[in-house]
Amino acid sequence: MFSSLADVWKMPDLRSRIFFTLALLAVYRLGIFIPAPGVDRAALSEFFQSGSNTLFGLYDMFSGGALEQFSVFVLGIMPYISASIIIQVLSSTVPQLERLSKEGQTGRNKLNQYTRYLTIVIALVQSGSIAVGLEQMKVGNGESVVIAVGWGFRLMTMITMTAGSCFVMWLGEQITERGIGSGSSLIITAGIVAGLPTGAYQLAQKVGNGDMNLLGVTLLVLFMFAVLVGIVFIERGQRRVPIQYAKRVVGRRVYGGQETHLPLKVNVAGVIPPIFASAVLMFPATLSTLLNSDNVVLGRIVGAFTPGAWLYNTVYVGLIVFFAYFYTAVTFNPVDVADNLKKQGGFIPGVRPGRQTAEYIDRILSRLTLGGALYLAAVCVLPTLLITQYGIPFYFGGTGLLIVVSVSLDTVAQIEGHMLTKHYDGLIQSSNVRGRQRRLLEKSKSE
């Protein structure tokens, strides 16, 4: 491992990419502490202490604490991720967008431009909703969170937050293009990791106050380690479908005849299903907090969907399974894979090319998705019980661990890919040099 780290710093291109990524993440973290005007932050902090288990607490984790600070980066990268998912869904249903997705780099650039426009629209809607919701917030003594309620505050909040979201979107695109790893995923991961010291401090306070003992902390650490090992094991898991290519005779040479495989991940959907399921389930509690209502029916609904309740866990598992199948169907098309294999002369042994190949891949993918969805549900539901019992922050929940570990594995895989490419180029250059030296030696001998 240490030799691999040493090799990373010996490669100037890879080293500059890593430094560039860290620099932009540092810019993002500095922007978290730039406050947006119009809000009493002391009252807002008091409100968040009472609403940590609502959507605000979850969103504050994804934004790296920007919502509690009421920063200019409150929306963070989430509008861009939502716009990307919407464009992906529309690309598989709208014929015009589907044609663009198949036009190579030009079509992808066009879709990226549409994604940016949609990000601005989503950011405007979300910032407007946040402004209206902040005006309804009251702390324990009846004090309003907003200093001056009205359209001036709403417009100022919409402009500030939308501009901040566009800047974060630009940071994510720059990291993806000129840095290492996926920019949007790394920004979310940076926010979660930045909150870990605060979560550890709160945990230490609970131990000091007697709310938790050392045995409970030890069991929590062991449980988190077991979850960590399970996440790494499943995220690395693949089903390798064997692929063979037919032989072709061109002149006196025979091409093809290779054997390879089609890797299908166990968890194709990644961390999208838990994020969407959590947002949907936290909506009743958040709505009740915003409306500050004493409605009996709404109170019962909120009580039934409290994290840790049996109805909450049941619906949570169902939503994770639904979003896992939905997102997998959007991002992976077995028909396109089968058509590409047929065009390239590839086939699965024992399966006819074309429709039967697509059905075979779809059947395997359906089984893998079920296993991946149950794995996501187990990782996200079991730590929720700890959160409910001990009041542990979201940072120690399964969703946070899942995002951090998954993004870290993807980033390490990209670093390994860069290192492999560099070593491969070095081998080619050294073989070319040796070939030239051999030819010059033979030429000198002949002379």
How far apart CA 169 and CA 78 sit, in angstroms, is 9
Superfamily of domain 16-211: SecY subunit domain (1.10.3370.10)
Domain residue spans of the chain? 16-211, 214-447
Q: What is the pLDDT of residue 446?
A: 55
Q: Which of 142-146, 357-361, 430-434 has the highest mean pLDDT?
A: 357-361
Mean local confidence (pLDDT), 197-215: 75
Residue 293 has pLDDT above 60, yes or no: no
Confidence of residue 120 (pLDDT cuts 50, 70, 90): very high
Across the range 189-211, mean pLDDT stands at 77
Q: Between these two residues, 138 and 332, which has the higher pLDDT value? A: 332
Task: Give percent above pLDDT 90 in the chain.
Answer: 3
Mean pLDDT calculated for residue range 331-358: 84
Environment class of 303 (CB within 10 Å of its CB; exposed 0-12, middle 13-18, buried 19+): middle
Flag the least confident range among 112-116, 247-251, 267-271.
247-251
Would you state the torsion angle of the CA atoms of residues 175, 405, 190, 69, taken in this order, to the nearest 10 degrees? 140
Question: How would you label 2-24 residue by residue, b for 16+ Cβ within 10 Å and e otherwise?
Answer: eeeeeebeebeebeebbeebeeb
Which pLDDT does position 298 carry in this prediction? 59
Nearest residue to 11 (alpha-carbon basis) of 440, 416, 283, 398: 416
Q: Retrieve residue 252's tokens.
A: 């006196």
Q: Are 227 and 328 in contact (CB under 8 A)?
A: no
Instruction: Please count the other Cβ atoms lying within 10 Å of the Cβ belonging to residue 81.
Output: 22
Q: For residue range 163-173, what is the model confidence (pLDDT) as tens digits?
A: 988 999 999 88
How far apart CA 37 and CA 103 sit, in angstroms, is 45
Q: Per-residue pLDDT averaged across 407-430, rounded?
A: 70
Other Cβ atoms closer than 10 A to 446? 6
Residue 123 in tokens: 């950011």
Residue type, 400: G
Which one has a higher pLDDT value, 89 or 143? Answer: 89
- pLDDT at position 23 is 92
Burial class (CB in 10 A: 0-12, 13-18, 19+), 296: exposed
Rounded to 10 deg, the angle between the 55-62 and 272-291 helix axes is 130
Mean pLDDT of all residues belonging to the chain? 76
In terms of Cα–Cα distance, which of 229, 182, 178, 3 is closest to 80? 182
Task: Write out the two tokens for 442.
Answer: 């033979």
Buried b (16+ CB within 10 A) or exposed e, 323-359: bbbbbbbbbbebeebbeebeeeebbbeeeebeeebbe
What residues have CB less than 8 Å from 227, skipping those under 6 apart? 379, 382, 383, 398, 401
Mean pLDDT computed over 195-204: 75
| Structural contact between residues 31 and 5, judged by C-beta atoms closer than 8 angstroms | no
Q: If DSSP states are collapsed to H, E and C, what string results for 354-408?
A: CHHHHHHHHHHHHHHHHHHHHHHHHHHHHHHHHHHHHCCCHHHCHHHHHHHHHHH
Q: What is the mean pLDDT of residues 114-131?
A: 87
pLDDT at 222: 82
Q: Which helix (H) or strand (E) holds 16?
A: helix 12-31
Mean pLDDT of 287-314: 63
Task: Specify whether the CB–CB gap between 76 and 62 falls below 8 A.
Answer: yes
Q: In the predicted model, is pLDDT for residue 295 greater than 70? A: no
Mean pLDDT of 365-369: 90
32 has a pLDDT exceeding 70: yes
* Average pLDDT estimate for 22-35: 87
- Which has more confidence, 414 or 69? 414
Residue range 305-326: average pLDDT?
A: 80
Whether 16-211 and 214-447 share one fold: the answer is yes
**Cβ–Cβ < 8 Å for 284, 345:** no
**Architecture of the domain defined by 214-447:** Orthogonal Bundle (1.10)
Alpha-carbon gap, residue 63 to 113, rounded angstroms: 24
Cα 190 from Cα 185, distance rounded (Å): 9
Start-to-end Cα distance in the chain? 51
Examine the pLDDT at 40 and tell me if it is beyond 80: no
The pLDDT of 111-124, averaged and rounded, is 90
Residue 434: predicted pLDDT:
54
Segment 374-390 shows an average pLDDT of 73
Which residue reads 């290192």 in tokens? Answer: 419
The mean per-residue pLDDT over the stretch 284-300 comes to: 57
Instruction: Flag whether pLDDT at 104 surpasses 70.
Output: yes
What digits encode the pLDDT tens for the residues 398-408? 677 788 888 88
Q: What is the distance, to the nearest Å, from the Cα of residue 107 to the centroid of all Cα atoms in its chain? A: 24
Average pLDDT in the 316-333 region? 85
Distance of CA 99 to the CA centre of its chain: 26
pLDDT of residue 433: 47
